[in-house]
Chains A and B, each alone.
Chain A
Amino acid sequence: MPQTTIYVAPRLAGTLGTIPPAVATVELARLFGRSAALAGVSLTVEIGRTVALLGPNGAGKTTLLRILATAIRPSYGTLAIDGIDALREPELVRGRAVYLSHATAHYDDLTAEENLRFAATMFGWGEREGGEVSREALATVGLDGHAGQRVCTFSAGMRKRLALARVLVARPSLLLLDEPHAALDGDGMALVDRLIGLWKEAGVTVMVASHQAERVSSMADATVRLEGGLLAEVSGAGASAGPVGARQRPRVAVARMDR
């Protein structure tokens, strides 16, 4: 088994020495056109926990992860990552929350190594270290034999492995994995499980959205089930549902026009 180094963002201290939760959302809602993908999710996740995010198609799992990653803004509600207001200072959150999306986000005409070197530069690695961490990450995901091959020749599973390698060259404190097992073979799925274990060991908070309920629940501290854009069930240690109440009227964070 190749050596795998896990890089982690430095911990942030909260005010008065308290440790802020990794994820704290209040009444997150997001509308796409005429439908509500999220309809008010208040969720708190403690630092270092692994959370399985479950639910049927269209439950809002991807939308929740994308909002936490600052890829999209919520229509209503607030969120803080490691105590940082993600709506006010998304650029600070981006260094900490790393998102593995459903789309693998590669450049087809670049080789696997070139894609990864690019990601390493974007994550702040210098020229030489960038090359080293890229090679190590490629070996970890089992693509070292295909480093010089263009991504357009890759299979769906290989693309996914390369996307995982990109997460390995990042320095996350919060990992948001959207269907990491999808498109992978048996070895690949075992690799994902091993990596999630390593991240957990290193103290990274991990949220895994998946349809493979048993697979992810077995390694998760907590289970969060979404249904119709709402929290249907929160169980286990380290994750809790906030007040899903009307007492906290949806705070309008983005759409400030109702005076």
Chain B
Amino acid sequence: MKTRILGFVALAAVIGAAVNGLFVVPADLNQGDAQRIMYVHVASAWIAYASFGVTALAGLGYLIRRDLRLDALALAGAEVGVMFTAFAIWGGMMWGRPVWGVYWQWEDPRLTTTALLLALYIGYLLLRRLTDDPARRAARAAVVGLIAAVDIPIVHFSVLWWRGLHQGPTIGDPSKILNPSAPLQFVLALLAMLAAFTLVWAYLLIRRYQLARLEWQLEEDARRGLVQTARLALPGAAAAEEPAR
């Protein structure tokens, strides 16, 4: 029930932030309406990073505590994160076309970093698919999630240097949007979108986690059923199986 309320609040917040970003805030002087994509793009990227942080921490927690609930949380983080990463890349490309004239700008460190991020976590999800045993799957996934998480900052810095050591900053750097010189209205619109996305994120994460637990329960019931079936197959053991109480 609480989750459902959160869902409605998140929906309302996103609609509000979208209306604000699309119609209330004026268009950017240099970039025109295309700049409005940035509100969604930046918010998606933030949420993606937060999701992968959840995956890494939950994975670490699993390795320490061996609690499969943490693994379910890690899975929720990765799936939601991949979705928002794809969304962020799509937004970046839509923005890049009118502003840079190309969909893909190799010199933008964020775009290239995000593409690698997507590859890292698609690998994570594939790995989960290819491992059947729940404990084995959780341990392997936790290791991959941890390695991916420590890799992200290295990727980011290397790509930043890659460009930075050679030439000046690219025009239309997305970070401009958070410059102190940007009009307050723009900053507020972005913050509103960030808040709305965070609510959506929390809702999706909780729902995916609940779903993962239900899936697990189903799997677990089947597993327990298998053990029981094996017992019933042996007459002697089946008799001993009857509960005393």
**Of A26-34, A78-86, A190-198, which stretch is located at the interface?**
A26-34
| B132 proximal to A (CB < 8 A) | yes
| Residue contact A39 to B231, C-beta cutoff 8 Å | yes
Report the interface size class on chain B. 20 to 34
Report the interface size class on chain A. 20 to 34
**With a CB–CB cut-off of 8 A, which chain B residues contact A250?**
224, 227
Query: Across the two chains, which residue of chain A brings its CB closest to B69?
Result: A257
Q: Which of A231, A246, A254, A255 has the most CB of B within 10 A?
A: A255
**Number of A-B residue pairs at CB separation under 8 A:** 72
| Residue contact B234 to A40, C-beta cutoff 8 Å | no
A-B contact pairs, 10 of them (CB 8 A): A32-B133, A34-B226, A36-B229, A39-B231, A40-B227, A246-B243, A250-B224, A250-B227, A257-B72, A257-B220
Given A254-B66, A257-B67, A229-B230 contact (CB < 8 Å): yes
Known contacts A73-B135, A244-B237, then 20 further A-B pairs from the complex at CB < 8 Å, ordered by chain A residue: A31-B227, A33-B132, A35-B226, A39-B231, A40-B227, A75-B135, A227-B234, A228-B234, A230-B231, A244-B241, A245-B240, A250-B227, A255-B68, A255-B134, A255-B135, A256-B69, A257-B69, A257-B220, A258-B217, A258-B220
Given A31-B226, A227-B234, A247-B135 contact (CB < 8 Å): no
A232 to B224, CA, bound (A): 20
| B101 proximal to A (CB < 8 A) | no
| Residue contact A40 to B231, C-beta cutoff 8 Å | yes
Query: Across the two chains, which residue of chain A brings its CB closest to B230?
Result: A39
| A199 proximal to B (CB < 8 A) | no
Q: Shortest distance in angstroms between A247's beta carbon and chain B's nearest beta carbon?
A: 5
| Residue contact A256 to B237, C-beta cutoff 8 Å | no
Q: Shortest distance in angstroms between B112's beta carbon and chain A's nearest beta carbon?
A: 38
| A76 proximal to B (CB < 8 A) | yes
| Residue contact A39 to B243, C-beta cutoff 8 Å | no
Q: Which of B66, B227, B242 contacts A36 (CB 8 A)?
A: B227
Interface residues, chain A, CB within 8 Å of chain B? 29, 31-36, 39-40, 73, 75-76, 227-232, 244-247, 250, 254-259
A76 to B69, CA, bound (A): 17
Chain B, residues 181-208, CB within 8 Å of chain A (1/0): the string is: 0000000000000000000000000000
| B213 proximal to A (CB < 8 A) | yes
**With a CB–CB cut-off of 8 A, which chain A residues contact B72?**
257
| Residue contact A245 to B226, C-beta cutoff 8 Å | no
| Residue contact A247 to B243, C-beta cutoff 8 Å | yes
| B236 proximal to A (CB < 8 A) | yes
| B165 proximal to A (CB < 8 A) | no
A33 to B222, CA, bound (A): 11
Q: Which of A36, A73, A254, A255 contacts B230 (CB 8 A)?
A: A36
| Residue contact B236 to A256, C-beta cutoff 8 Å | no
Contact residues, B214-229 vs A (CB, 8 A): 216-217, 220, 223-224, 226-227, 229
Q: Which of B135, B227, B245 contacts A254 (CB 8 A)?
A: B135
A250 to B228, CA, bound (A): 11
| Residue contact A257 to B226, C-beta cutoff 8 Å | no
**With a CB–CB cut-off of 8 A, which chain A residues contact B230?**
36, 39, 228-230
6 tightest A-B CB contacts, nearest first:
A39-B230, A257-B68, A246-B243, A36-B230, A36-B226, A39-B227
Query: Across the two chains, which residue of chain B brings its CB closest to A227?
Result: B234
| Residue contact A256 to B244, C-beta cutoff 8 Å | no
